[in-house]
Amino acid sequence: MRLLPRLTAVPAALVLAVLPGAALAAETPAAAGFTITDPRIRESSGLAASRVHPGVYWTHNDSDDGPYVYAVDSATGRTLARVTLTGIGTPRDVEAISLGPDGQLYVGDIGDNRNGTWDHVWIYRFQEPGELGDQTVKAEQFTVVYADGPRNAEALMVHPVTGRVYIASKNEQGGGLYEGPERLSADGHNVFRRVAEVPWVTDGAFSPDGGRLTLRGYFTARTYPWKDGRPQGEGERQDAPWQGQAESVTYTPDGRTLMFGAEGANSKVVAVPVTAASGAPDPAGAGSPQQPGGQGAGGSGSGARGEPATPGSGSFTKGALVLAAGTALVLAGKRLLRRRPKP
């Protein structure tokens, strides 16, 4: 959903130069950022790292595109495949994509241009293709409702161990993390229930071992230890790049790097190394998720390092001045640029 003016992303080299984890990145080769060059991808709103095709990332447009998902080569920025989904209705507001432990891609048609008035949204699921190239696949469609009423949401995360689907709602005063049923059903409604409070979230991702949940917003991101199906503690702030219309985040398959994406033509995906303290694998290659109760990294989190995470506050700011300025910018952009509701 477009709320902010287009702004140029901070170059990846500059981001890495000022990050606390830059020294670790120098010792351990990390994934590189890239630019999405396909002119058809104007509103990249989600990212998922392929497990079948090294260096490939799945993405999609926000809305007004169609039932399409794109495979982008991070080495060149070129599109290697456009997958057309059949067996589903007409997408309304596709906001997120996530890869499950079953090797299937989950596409979240969960945005709400009417600001939380649609009585249901959808998730589409299809097997990640073994070969890349333009193709048509049959997808399953799941109807989603929220136990506490309609929500606007932009973040969908599939846990890489349990396969359970989570959605983070988006609200200027702070949203909620919603847990889906143990298994999605194509028959009837899948009720998602609120299990935690989160700040203003535009996307999220689980670490590959399932031990961390990272949530991002327009200004920064936060990572939480994950235990017993819930985020733990206040989380740890990640130094996410300023990207204007910041819409997506995913982990690389090795868990060592967070990839941050944004909307816009020729949009940049910025690679930010994950420090060992926030849940990256150790140099020996063994996973080292932080114990619950500590401060970790996540895909839909809030707050800054050492700050209390309260809904709608510190997780997406760098101090009170940034919060005030950022909020004013977002609200101004929202009034000026929000799309007209679809009939």
What is the C-alpha separation between 109 and 93, in angstroms, rounded? 5
Residue 323 has a pLDDT of 36
> What DSSP string describes 233-297?
SS-EEE-PPP-SSEEEEEE-TTSSEEEEEE-STT-EEEEEEPPGGGTPPPTTS---PPPTTS-BB
pLDDT per residue rounded down to tens, the chain (343 residues):
444 444 334 343 333 333 333 333 334 455 789 999 999 999 999 999 999 999 999 999 987 789 999 999 999 999 999 999 999 999 999 999 999 999 999 999 999 877 778 899 999 999 999 999 999 999 999 999 999 999 999 999 999 999 999 999 988 777 899 999 999 999 999 999 999 999 889 999 999 999 999 999 888 899 999 999 999 988 899 888 888 788 899 999 999 999 999 989 999 999 999 975 555 554 333 333 333 333 233 333 333 322 233 333 333 333 333 333 444 444 444 444 444 444 3
Residue 30 has a pLDDT of 56
Tell me the three state secondary structure of residue 140: strand
What is the C-alpha separation between 101 and 162, in angstroms, rounded? 8
Q: How far is CA 306 from CA 21, 151, 238, 314, in A?
A: 17, 30, 12, 10
CA proximity to 209, closest of 129, 285, 302: 285
Phi/psi for 123 (5° steps) reads: -125, 135
Q: Count Cβ atoms within 10 A of the Cβ of residue 75 and give its class: 0-12 exposed, 13-18 middle, 19 or more buried.
A: exposed
Angle at Cα 145 formed by Cα 128 and Cα 201, nearest 5°? 70
CA proximity to 234, closest of 282, 261, 197: 197
Cβ contact 128:104 at 8 Å: yes
Sign of the CA dihedral with 111 first, then 151, 316, and 16 last? negative
Residue 153 has a pLDDT of 94
Residue 280 has a pLDDT of 52
Residue 281 has a pLDDT of 52
Helix (H) or strand (E) run with residue 338 in it: none
Residue 3 has a pLDDT of 47
Residue 29 has a pLDDT of 54
What is the C-alpha separation between 12 and 225, in angstroms, rounded? 26
Residue 209 has a pLDDT of 97
Residue 45 has a pLDDT of 93
